[in-house]
Structure 1
Amino acid sequence: MPFGDREDELWEAMKPRFKPRTVSDPNIRYARHLVNGTGPFAASASSPAPTANDARATLARVVRRTPEVVVKVTGRKKGARHLGAHLDYIGRHGDVPLETRDGEEITTKADAERIADEWSEALYWRQGTTVSAVAMVFSMPAGTDPETVKQAVREAAERMIGDNHDYVMALHTDTDRPHVHLTVQAEGLDRKRFDPRREDLFRFREAFAEALRSRGVEAEATPRYTRGQGRAGTSMALTQLRARIRSGASRQPTEADLRQAREAMQIALGKAQQPPFVSKTRDRWTETKRKYEAAAQRLDRTGDRDDRRLARDVRQFIQERADIETVPDRMLRDAEKRVRDAQARTKPHQQPNRGVPRGTPPPPTRRR
């Protein structure tokens, strides 16, 4: 074992450990099962615990920049009308077939509305206030085979929720990144509500990546700090709004961008300080780099050629990511540049010599 007693430390650097919330959580037992891998989420006998080879393979995929899977919640649909409009949208008004959990294809708007009514039937007396379904998106970078992506999403959904929640899915190839819209019925067979949180999404990412790798597609699911990335992703609504601004369809900046710009300007002028999470992010990346360096040293000591090559890749990965940049860092850099430009424009002109009469023109220069 190349990592020995440091294996757990390396795993902690690459895979987060979540703790269930114990306050204000009506599904605390469900959450504990999810986080601890017990109950309905217990690993089968065919899924052994992670080994040193698993840690080595994950480390190799991280430092060699294996594509990361993306799993997002794009919205929660309330009531049959809202859900029916969403199913009609992801089905591209009948042009893209919807596939159910049982593999049945839905191609008509009437069938989609029937599903929306069935999923919302138990909630008829509080339509519009209770979530009928949760909409999710699974995507991979350009160049990935779309059919393989769809099969991997189906496997991940069947593994994570297939025994309790109904769902429909639709494959979209209208962008460079093949992606699958997965819409999950909120109420399960056991009356538990499907309300994915950060921990759930990470489990979905891991299941999606494993399903892709089993089909010959390189994929990984790790947190941003594992890869030295400090910028978080944005919501679908904010991404679409920014796209409208860039295209000229809208000239009004988003409230989030305005707020970040104001905060960055206050920091640049010395009237405020960076938020605490910025320094915490840097500290976490420093600790992660330390663990990676320790792993590289242990790989060097094994004497194996492949291990030494991986150790070299790990050190190059660390060197290329000496620091980590967050969104406030980028906004602050832009604000400081604006401050410097403004100071340069308003810099007072050099005072004339006292012996020169007022009104005397300045001497000629070579600049024109």
Structure 2
Amino acid sequence: MPFGEREDELWEAMKPRFKPRIVGDPNARYAKSIVNGIGAFAPRHNVAPTASAVRATLARVVHRTPEVLVKVTGRKKGAKHLAAHLDYIGRHGDIAIETRDGERITSKDDAHQIADEWSDPLYWRQGTSVSAVAMVFSMPAGTNPDKVRESVREAAERLIGDNHDYVLALHTDTPRPHVHLTVQAEGMDRKRFDPRREDLFRFREAFAEALRSRGVEAEATPRYTRGQGRAGTSMALTQLRARIRNGASRQPTNADLRQAREAMQIALGKAQQPALATKTRARWQDTKRRYEAAADRLDRTGNREDRQLAGDVRKFVQERAGIETVPDMMLRDAEKRVRDAQDRARTDPQPDRGVPRGTPPPPTRRR
């Protein structure tokens, strides 16, 4: 069977499909189309991919092409909150902030004026209404920073357009060049900018395509496509864990404590693993099956490059026999602690049960 006849099945394994969540039903006549993703509400991924696009994406995945990172870092409420954020991304005037029209702002007064213009003019609502959404676009170390900035601007022009105002700032003070994109929450059509999972993935795809058009290898695929089961963490949780590692705080985060307690209950046989871990492993097995089928079809094309890619696909699958999620990692650590406790109980002498618990030891004699 030629490789080009089964692209849809492989494409679904490399590019996720989303269904919009219905929070209201303004017009019941369109509800079925919205839920089923048909008609005017059909997602872009329903378009049949070409054989060359599928082959190129598969090659980038198995060759470990760097993945782009796009995430929402926060929502700025009110002029003061937004002004403080603009001061941060502009390093208090040391880094130029670029507007949607390409103007470079280095003055704090000009940045604060933007914050006032974007915020709610009703002073009693400045602390509650969202004025802007802060996003960050990042690439691995060694990537050309100017190309990263240009790619972010192209992605913003493509997906945001002129409906929302936005500013961006390039940071190169870390090994990973990254761009802070701040988007005005309220658009010209009075609709709010509120990116969700599907929107963030579209930003990732647009960012990766813009980078590739500038000669930078980049890809945007889900974690399970690459055999990775650990999700990223929020910025707040990352900062809390950094404080603990640096010794600034000794209090573990609530999320880590909860995961540790759940893992210990599973290790002791008092609970079951969450459905998330089981579903993730099942999805990875299905993805592996599609990769292996794609490798077989590539072998049958008779093309030397296709056969080489088929070998790379099989090697990629063999190196990732399983997938480990965060619950799996926590469970492995909990099981190790249980085994260590059982070993200590077998080797250490049992304490005298006639002595009440909490009784202090007798004083030692001094010579």
Separation in structure 2 between the aligned mates of residue 49 and residue 96 of structure 1, nearest angstrom? 44
- Structure 2 gaps of 5+ residues are 351-367
More displaced 10-residue stretch of structure 1: 338-347 or 177-186: 338-347
The answer on whether the counterparts of 1:282 and 1:324 sit within 8 Å (CA) in structure 2 is yes
More displaced 10-residue stretch of structure 1: 238-247 or 165-174: 238-247
The answer on whether the counterparts of 2:131 and 2:186 sit within 8 Å (CA) in structure 1 is yes
Tell whether 2:6 aligns with 1:20: no
- Taking structure 1 as the reference length, the TM-score comes to 0.88
Amino acid at match of 1:308: R
Separation in structure 2 between the aligned mates of residue 181 and residue 78 of structure 1, nearest angstrom? 17
Instruction: Tell me which residue corresponds to 2:112.
Output: 113
Tell whether 2:317 aligns with 1:318: yes
The answer on whether the counterparts of 1:187 and 1:194 sit within 8 Å (CA) in structure 2 is yes
The count of aligned residue pairs is 344
C-alpha displacement of 1:27: 12
TM-aligned CA distance change 1:197 to 1:270, over 3 Å: same
- Taking structure 2 as the reference length, the TM-score comes to 0.88
C-alpha displacement of 1:163: 2.3
C-alpha displacement of 1:124: 4.0
C-alpha displacement of 1:168: 0.4
Give the 3-state SS of the residue equivalent to 1:129 in structure 2: coil
More displaced 10-residue stretch of structure 1: 49-58 or 215-224: 49-58
Give the 3-state SS of the residue equivalent to 1:243 in structure 2: helix
C-alpha displacement of 1:36: 7.8
Tell whether 2:185 aligns with 1:186: yes
C-alpha displacement of 1:21: 1.3
TM-aligned CA distance change 1:99 to 1:51, over 3 Å: same
Separation in structure 1 between the aligned mates of residue 173 and residue 213 of structure 2, nearest angstrom? 26
For each residue in 1:93-126, what CA deviation from the matched residue of structure 2 results, as whole angstroms up to 9, or x when unmatched? 1111100000001111111110000001445452
The answer on whether the counterparts of 2:7 and 2:49 sit within 8 Å (CA) in structure 1 is no
Separation in structure 2 between the aligned mates of residue 215 and residue 282 of structure 1, nearest angstrom? 36
Amino acid at match of 2:99: T
Separation in structure 1 between the aligned mates of residue 257 and residue 225 of structure 2, nearest angstrom? 30
- Structure 1 gaps of 5+ residues are 352-368
For each residue in 1:118-161, what CA deviation from the matched residue of structure 2 results, as whole angstroms up to 9, or x when unmatched? 00144545211111100000000011011110000000001000
The answer on whether the counterparts of 1:79 and 1:123 sit within 8 Å (CA) in structure 2 is no
Instruction: After TM superposition, list the pairs within 5 Å mapping 1:199-348 onto structure 2.
Output: 199-347=198-346
Instruction: Tell me which residue corresponds to 1:361.
Output: none
For each residue in 1:220-250, what CA deviation from the matched residue of structure 2 results, as whole angstroms up to 9, or x when unmatched? 0000010110000001111111111111111
More displaced 10-residue stretch of structure 1: 249-258 or 290-299: 249-258
Separation in structure 2 between the aligned mates of residue 122 and residue 36 of structure 1, nearest angstrom? 40
Give the 3-state SS of the residue equivalent to 1:316 in structure 2: helix
The alignment-based identity, stated in percent, is 80
The answer on whether the counterparts of 1:101 and 1:162 sit within 8 Å (CA) in structure 2 is no
TM-aligned CA distance change 1:293 to 1:123, over 3 Å: farther
TM-aligned CA distance change 1:27 to 1:214, over 3 Å: farther
Instruction: Tell me which residue corresponds to 2:135.
Output: 136
TM-aligned CA distance change 1:187 to 1:42, over 3 Å: farther
Instruction: Tell me which residue corresponds to 1:168.
Output: 167
Instruction: After TM superposition, list the pairs within 5 Å mapping 1:70-81 onto structure 2.
Output: 70-81=69-80
Give the 3-state SS of the residue equivalent to 1:71 in structure 2: strand
Give the 3-state SS of the residue equivalent to 1:347 in structure 2: helix
Give the 3-state SS of the residue equivalent to 2:119 in structure 1: helix
